[in-house]
Amino acid sequence: MPATVKVLRRPAPGQTSYLRSALKGMGLTFKHMVNPKKVTLQYPEERLELSPRWRGTHVMEVHADGRPKCVACGLCPTVCPANCIRLVGGEDDMGNRYPIVYEIDEFRCIFCGMCQEVCPVEAIHVGQHFENAEYTRDRFVYDLDRLMEQDHPSTLLWDPSDPRSE
Amino acid sequence: MVETVTLTIDGQEVTVPKGTTILEAAETLGNRVPHYCYHPGLSRPAQCRLCLVEVEGAPKLQASCVTAAMPGQVVHTQSESARAQRRGVLEFYLKNHPLDCPICDQSGECKLQDYVHEEGRAHGRSREPKRVLGRDDFGGDVLFYGDRCVMCTRCVRFMNEMAQDPRLTVVERGNRSVIDTFFEEGLAGSPYAGNIVDICPVGALVSKDFLHKARAWDLDHIPSICPNCSQGCNIDLHVRDNLVQRLKPRDNPEVNQHWMCDYGRHRYEWMNHGTRLVAPARGRGEGLATGTWEAVLSDLADELAEAREAGLGVRALASPFASNEDLAALRDLVEALGGGEIVFRSPRADQEIPLPGFPKLVRRRDLAPNVRGAELLGMRRVGGEDASGGLESLVGFDGILLVMGDALLDAPEDFGAGARVLACLGTHPPRVAAGATHLLPIRTHAEGEGTFTNVEGRVQRFWPGLHAPGEARPAWQVLAFLAAALGAEGEVPALAAEAFARLAADHAPFQGLSYEVLGTRGALVNDPVSLPGA
């Protein structure tokens, strides 16, 4: 099929008026002045609701007696594509394997959530949280105590009532 | 002429010496038949039932680890019946296996993990509770996790056949059977018991020293030579975070077969940096100041040349922990300075510790890797059995003193005070640094390339596994530079291979050897020692 060419008639200079378009635009402006549609949130008094699937800074789950659930298996530092998890395993006084050092560099983290996916004991999770401002860079390396203290909810990619996605 | 048989395995023809088993014949084709109880260094009870393969004409599946290859035999290792059998056997193995891979030290190098991943069932069908045995301390360096055991009895057979010190046995029968020690005796004091951790195909026997220390997949394996006695066992350095985490034996039928002693296995911490010498320095006493390699070496070369002009003699103290290349380079430098005696001090144990099942492997009395190499290069052993004393000829010497690798732990405070030049090449600062005019940081054997000559005269290569700290350089490079600055012939070698080529050309025992000839298994010097039991 041969291509068809649509010929547009271009008005000659001096023959057009922009008044109609200008009035149309002003109309929209006045409409929003009378009946405004809110976009800007008055943060921090008002806050956006996060998606339950939001992947933010990490949370370490804790046993009832206050021990971290982590067993230092080494899968999260292995799977981490940003190489931001540092783990040194050891044995506690009850003969259990536990993390002596567990650090996540939240600056290097890309929040892919693979650490949570790979964890065999449902210990490490990405959380529904985004307010992480600090005064120094080194504060962004979260150690085990800090990860255990995080009180924001973990992402609903993981459902606590069905921890093994069965 | 060895009699051979030709058979077909999985459609591939293979010719092997008569008496070879099907499993070993398949391995020559790169076809690994799964197995637990079979180990090339031990007897073959054929009890794990995992290596069963289909042999055409045989009524049932055959255990390939004990069935000799016959002429014209047609073997299928991957046939439907063989695979179904293995799948079934593996399901039984998992019946009581705890699946605690996340906290098991063997995870990543576990044969049960590998085989089940390859061809096991995706889900177990067992609904019954698993047997729980818990953990048992076997004494020595060995922990036993009974739940993980697959009853291959390799450990029991190693203690019976190789160590010939039966300390382990199978208790109970059938599905209640479990490995145990006799009463409270345990494995403590058995000098080769660490090997049962290596040969355990699962995580039932684990090392206390390595417990929870690193994951198997994080470790780099670097071929090396055990530096803890003059047997020269072939080992792998398992390295993570620039630290040696453990030593494992590497196969070499001429030296250590598949084994190594616990004495050597547990002495690796010194390779991980402690207080290391990291920068070259010059100046005596208070005036000792670090400088660049260029400045310190050219200063040292000038002072050596002056001392040589003044007709002062040279004496050197070497170390049997240095490689052949380092020792030969020291010899060359001493010759360039007019020639002099080189001595070394070496620790010696009270007795040898042989492995009865493989008499070639002995923990030797010399507790240093290169005593034989130093002797072949014309160096003389001085001092006592604990590597002390013997410095009489050096203490008051007023010429050039070269010290390489000896930390001078027992030297008097005024050691080298009267010497015109005292150059110390070392990994650690010498105790009597005050007397030194030059301090030169060098690398340990774990940080560089080189060779050791073992007690028998076998020259074996080792490879670098760690990054050297600071500005440490290989000793052969530093010494060859100085020798060249003093007018010695030849170019400064850029590679350890070139340093070795020079050594082989200059010293008759090493003639004809090169890194290509040595390969990974090593080669004998021209005048080897024949050892009893070999």
Residue B405 Rama label (left phi>0; alpha psi -120 to 50; beta): left
Q: Which residue has the tokens 């530096």?
A: B227
> What pLDDT sits at residue A160?
67
Q: Is residue A74 part of a domain?
A: yes
Mean pLDDT, contiguous 10-residue spans, chain A (166 residues)? 82 83 93 84 88 91 93 94 94 89 95 92 92 93 95 80 68
Residues with Cβ within 8 Å of residue B221, at least 6 apart in sequence: B236, B237, B238, B239, B248
**DSSP secondary structure letters along A111-132:** ---HHHHH-TTS-EEEES----
Boundary of a domain, candidates B218, B241, B264 = B218
Q: What is the pLDDT of residue B517?
A: 94
Q: What is the 3-state secondary structure (H, E, C) of B35-82?
A: CCCCCCCCCCCCCCCCCEEEECCCCCCEECCCCECCCCCEEECCCHHH
Does residue A111 lie in a domain region? yes
Same domain, yes or no, for B129 and B72? Answer: no
Range of the domain at A72: 56-149
| Rg over CA atoms, chain B | 27
Within this chain, do residues B338 and B400 fall inside the same structural domain, yes or no?
Answer: yes
CB contact under 8 A, A120 and B102: yes
pLDDT of residue A155: 86
Whether B228 maps to a domain, the answer reads: no
State residue B275's pLDDT score.
86
Token pair recorded at residue A109: 């983290």
Encode pLDDT of B236-257 as tens digits.
999 999 999 999 999 999 999 9
Judge if B47 and B156 occupy the same domain: no
Closest residue to B212, CB basis, from A75, A91, A120: A91
At residue B355, the 3 state secondary structure works out as: coil
Do B71 and B124 share a domain, yes or no?
no
* The pLDDT of residue A126: 94
pLDDT, mean over chain B: 92
Both B105 and B21 in one domain: the answer is no
Residue B249 maps to a domain: no
Q: What residue type is assigned to position B226 of the chain? A: C
* Rounded CA separation B452/B457 (Å): 9
- Which domain-ending residue is among B218, B235, B267? B218
- Nearest CB to B212; choose among A72, A120, A121: A72
Domain final residue pick, B183, B218, B253: B218
Contact status of A101 with chain B (Cβ, < 8 Å): no
Q: Is position B72 within any domain?
A: yes
Chain A residues touching residue B218 (CB < 8 angstroms): 74, 78
Q: Is residue A118 part of a domain?
A: yes
Output the domain CATH number for residue A125: 3.30.70.3270
CATH no. for residue B358? 3.40.50.740
Owning domain of residue B136: 99-110+118-218
Which residues have a Cβ under 8 Å from the Cβ of B417 and sit 6 or more positions away? Answer: B435
Q: Are residues B319 and B464 in the same domain?
A: yes
DSSP state of A136: S
In a domain, B272, yes or no: no
> Which residues are bridge partners to B247 per DSSP?
B237
Task: Count how many domains chain A has.
Answer: 1
Task: Please list the rounded mean pLDDT of every run of 10 residues in chain B (534 residues).
Answer: 91 94 94 94 94 94 95 94 94 92 93 94 90 90 94 96 94 91 87 96 95 93 96 96 95 94 94 88 86 94 93 93 96 92 94 94 94 94 90 88 90 85 91 84 95 95 95 95 90 94 94 94 86 58
Same domain, B73 and B124: no
Q: Evaluate whether residue B92 is within a structural domain.
A: no
Query: Nearest-CA residue of chain B relative to A76?
Result: B102
How is residue B178 written in tokens? 């479990």
Q: What is the pLDDT of residue B534?
A: 46
Q: Is B495 found in the same domain as B349?
A: yes
CA–CA separation, B39 and B29 (whole Å) = 18
- Nearest chain B CA: its distance from A136 CA (Å): 27
CATH number, domain at B161? Answer: 3.30.70.20
In a domain, B39, yes or no: yes
> Do B339 and B399 belong together in one domain?
yes
Would residue A125 count as lying in a domain?
Answer: yes
Instruction: Assess whether B68 and B158 both reside in one domain.
Output: no
* CA-CA-CA-CA torsion sign (A27, A30, A34, A40): positive
User: Residue A121: which residues within 8 A CB-CB, separation 6 or more?
Assistant: A69, A70, A71, A73, B102
β-partners of residue B377 are none
> DSSP character for B348?
B
Considering the domain boundaries, does residue B315 fall inside one?
A: yes
Question: Tokens at residue A155, please?
Answer: 């992402």
Strand B438-441, strand B450-453: pairing:
unpaired
- Whether A83 is in a domain gets the answer yes
pLDDT for res A38: 78
The answer to whether A126 touches A137, Cβ cutoff 8 Å, is no
In a domain, B152, yes or no: yes
How many Å lie between the alpha carbon of B115 and the closest alpha carbon of chain A?
Answer: 20
Question: Is B135 touching A (CB cutoff 8 A)?
Answer: yes
Task: State how many domains chain B has.
Answer: 3
B102·A90 Cβ contact <8 A: no
Q: In whole angstroms, what separates CA B122 from the centre of its chain? A: 38
**pLDDT at position B352:** 93
**pLDDT tens digit string along B61-82?**
999 999 999 999 999 999 999 9
Say yes or no: B480 and B376 in one domain.
yes
CB contact under 8 Å between B215 and A78, yes or no, is yes
**One domain for residues B434 and B287:** yes
B306-360 pLDDT tens trace: 999 998 999 999 999 999 999 999 999 999 999 889 999 999 999 999 999 999 9
Cα separation, B504 vs B451, whole angstroms: 12
Measured between beta carbons, which residues in chain A are less than 8 angstroms from residue B135? 95
- Residue A1 is predicted with a pLDDT of 61
